[in-house]
Amino acid sequence: MLTTTDFFQASQWGGILTLVCAAITLIGFILKWGIRFRLVGATSFMG
């Protein structure tokens, strides 16, 4: 059974992962990668 502490830790990791994905998406737009719009979708799904 999940406790409040476990849920908080999972939320923290989810937030960190979302920020990392957003940074990769930003780099993708700056470097004009072809996959950048898929990265936007993945980032918005996480957030």
Task: Report d(CA 45, CA 43) in Å as an integer.
Answer: 5
Average pLDDT of 30-46? 93
Q: Cβ distance 9 to 24 under 8 Å?
A: no
Q: What's residue 15's pLDDT?
A: 96
Show the tokens assigned to 41: 């979708």
**Domain span holding position 22:** 4-45
pLDDT at 1 (0 to 100): 86
Has residue 18 got a pLDDT over 80? yes
Mean pLDDT estimate for the chain: 94
Count up the domains in the chain and report the number. Answer: 1
Kindly indicate the confidence band of residue 32, based on its pLDDT and cuts at 50, 70 and 90.
very high
Question: 46 near 21, Cβ under 8 Å?
Answer: yes
